[in-house]
Amino acid sequence: MSSNVIQGKSPIRLTATLVGAVFLVVGILGFVPGITAGSMEMAGHHSHAMLLGIFQVSVLHNVVHLLFGVAGLLLGRSAAGARNFLVWGGVIYLVLFVYGLFFGEESAGNFVPVNMADNILHFALGAGMLALGLLLGRGAALRRA
């Protein structure tokens, strides 16, 4: 990425774009044999595919990552969109964390699927995205005032 592109973006827009790009890469890697090993199902706890040997994934799980990636890239075009992506994306990932706590790895309700490593990552992502959205969004709002 050239420094001109980075210099033209506010911190919140740059953050949302970078987070979106990471989600996009993770979504793609979830389909790459060797990086993801095991039998992958469309959805459900019967998917035994493991991204990096740690995170349980399925086609649905990977598609969610891809959609979050596209959303981050598109919403990162404006400060308001970037703030909404980070704040609401953070809330969604915190809800997914709670979901993972209630539905164990072998539960039929675990349709995403998620394992304990996913739960920890979802908590960190949710808290981080929410905090960044609120802190950087506040700074963007103050600069406009």
Span 98-131, pLDDT tens digits: 988 887 766 666 667 778 898 999 999 999 999 9
Q: Which residue has the higher pLDDT, 100 or 25?
A: 25
Q: Which residue has the higher pLDDT, 109 or 25?
A: 25
Whole-structure pTM value = 0.83
DSSP3 helix / strand / coil % (the chain, rounded to 5)? 65, 5, 30
- Strands annotated E in 20-78: 36-37, 49-51, 55-57
Please give the Cα distance from 130 to 7 (Å, whole number). Answer: 24
5 pLDDT exceeds 60?
Answer: no
Take residue 66 and report the two structure tokens written for it: 């891809």
- Which sequence spans correspond to the domains of the chain? 11-140
Residue where the block lists tokens 């979050």: 68
Least confident of 16-25, 50-59, 66-75: 50-59
Q: Find the angle CA(46)-CA(49)-CA(55) to the nearest 5 degrees.
A: 105
Please give the Cα distance from 76 to 73 (Å, whole number). Answer: 5
